[in-house]
Structure 1
Amino acid sequence: MAPYPSTLDVPHELVEHVSWLIYARRCEQGTRWRKLNCFRQALLALAHLRKNDTLAQLGAGFGISEATAWRYVDETVDVLAAWAPGLREALAGRGEDNFVILDGTLIPTDRIAADEPYYSQKHKKHGMNVQVIAAPDGTPLWFSRALPGRTHDLTAARAHGVIESCPTRQILVLADRAYQGAGATVRTPYYRHHELPERYQQYNRDHARLRAPGERAFAQLKTWRLLRRARCSTNRIGRIIAAVHTLLTCEYRGWKRLSDS
């Protein structure tokens, strides 16, 4: 393979931030020497997540073997995933005066037709079901672990404890029709709205307007091209999503080191 100059479309501050987290992990483990320094390892991992280049291509570009590139990326994903907020942390401080947006998406994967649990009838492709809780402005507060693609959104939300946690905290949840019947604090649109009185149609329009920013959370998630079509094991997708969520959180916090917060 022939290497060529390229640019990674992420801020330099983000690479530095990730390199500090890697440095802290190396100090914790007592690592003495690595083929790549912390900054180069961070750059390698971010390039893999952002551009979805294969590890063989990245290894050749960074002058390391494919196996070493895999270990570096896997270690970096673990470091970042450890900082992703849990459901309880995401809902902390939100009560009766707040609302959140609940939605689900499919992370496409390379799968064969025999992998029936991963095939989504809704999307007509193989993948993994991921749930998100977003703030009213679309800022992602929490991403779930990944479940097989054929899992219904409401089933997934119940499995992750979302439906149980939000009513307990009296948090109003706006969701689409897939979550109908979820619970008292979950608001979904009315069916057959064209046949309903005007006040119900207006409710559906207002509901859609308030819920629309939730799509931004998945749009931001999938700017990391690895999640547009994952070639890795389905067991790793949940950790990768948590790692990307940490990277998104870093941007919202203005690159402040998570260890200082």
Structure 2
Amino acid sequence: HEALTGLGEGDFVIVDGTLIATDRIKADEPYYSQKHKQHGMNVQVMAAPDGTPLWFSRALPGRTHDLTAARAHGIIQACLTRQILILADRAYQGAGATVRTPYYRHREQPEHYQQFNRDQARLRAPGERAFAQLKQWRILRRTRCSTRRVGTIVQAIHTLMTCGYSG
């Protein structure tokens, strides 16, 4: 809710999840992401339209789906109550009325669907900058600490980024 201050009806945010790789063993199954084929922690990022990171979530086990993580953190509900539009990737399909995701690709997709997907990708592109800023920190390239500390590290990085520290 704090990240959404200053935003009102008609504004939009970019939401996406990313996997922070961890050094885990095979026995740590909840941390294994089938999609990325590695162990890690799922972190949700909310970014402003200009790419400024507004909020980083606490870390969840890597096998947590992005939509499940967004619901667990209350992102979708918070944006719904404030009538803020969310631009997201296909992982968030079915999230609700305020979430806009691209259409599935088909061989013979109508031109207006293709145009919508291109426009949405153009609007979401600056939000990818928030992920790039997060992942540039060397400490997150392969985390070797306890998985419980990853969320704390991400929050500390967000605080440093907010203060203008570039690492």
**TM-score, normalization: structure 2?**
0.96
| Aligned-CA RMSD value | 1.1
Which residue of 61, 81, 99 corresponds with 1:186?
Answer: 99
Which residue of 58, 70, 86 corresponds with 1:145?
Answer: 58
> Partner of 2:164: helix, strand, or coil?
helix
Which residue of 18, 37, 42 corresponds with 1:129?
Answer: 42
Residues 193 and 201, structure 1, Cα contact 8 Å, conserved in 2: no
Residues 67 and 91, structure 2, Cα contact 8 Å, conserved in 1: yes
> Partner of 2:153: helix, strand, or coil?
helix
> Shift in Å at residue 215 of structure 1?
1.1
Deviations 1:60-98 (A, max 9, x none): xxxxxxxxxxxxxxxxxxxxxxxxxxxx11001211231
Residues 20 and 143, structure 2, Cα contact 8 Å, conserved in 1: yes
Gaps of 5+ in 1: 1-87, 253-261
In the alignment, residue 31 of structure 2 is paired with which amino acid? Y
Distance 1:194-1:214 versus aligned 2 partners, 3 A rule: farther
Deviations 1:20-67 (A, max 9, x none): xxxxxxxxxxxxxxxxxxxxxxxxxxxxxxxxxxxxxxxxxxxxxxxx
1:157 corresponds to: 70
Residues 189 and 207, structure 1, Cα contact 8 Å, conserved in 2: yes
> Shift in Å at residue 195 of structure 1?
2.2
In the alignment, residue 195 of structure 1 is paired with which amino acid? E
Larger relative contact order (C-alpha < 8 A, sep ≥ 6)?
2
> Partner of 2:63: helix, strand, or coil?
coil
> Partner of 1:114: helix, strand, or coil?
coil
Distance in 1, matches of 2:47 and 2:148, equals 24
Question: Is 1:225 aligned to 2:131, yes or no?
Answer: no
Q: How many residues align?
A: 165
1:111 corresponds to: 24
Higher-Rg structure is 1
Distance in 2, matches of 1:103 and 1:204, equals 16
1:240 corresponds to: 153
**TM-score, normalization: structure 1?**
0.62
Structure with the larger helix share: 1
Distance in 2, matches of 1:183 and 1:247, equals 33
Distance in 1, matches of 2:77 and 2:106, equals 28
Deviations 1:156-192 (A, max 9, x none): 0000001111111000100000000001010000012
Q: How does 1:16-165 map to 2 (within 5 A)?
A: 88-165=1-78
1:216 corresponds to: 129
Identity %: 81
Question: Is 1:176 aligned to 2:64, yes or no?
Answer: no
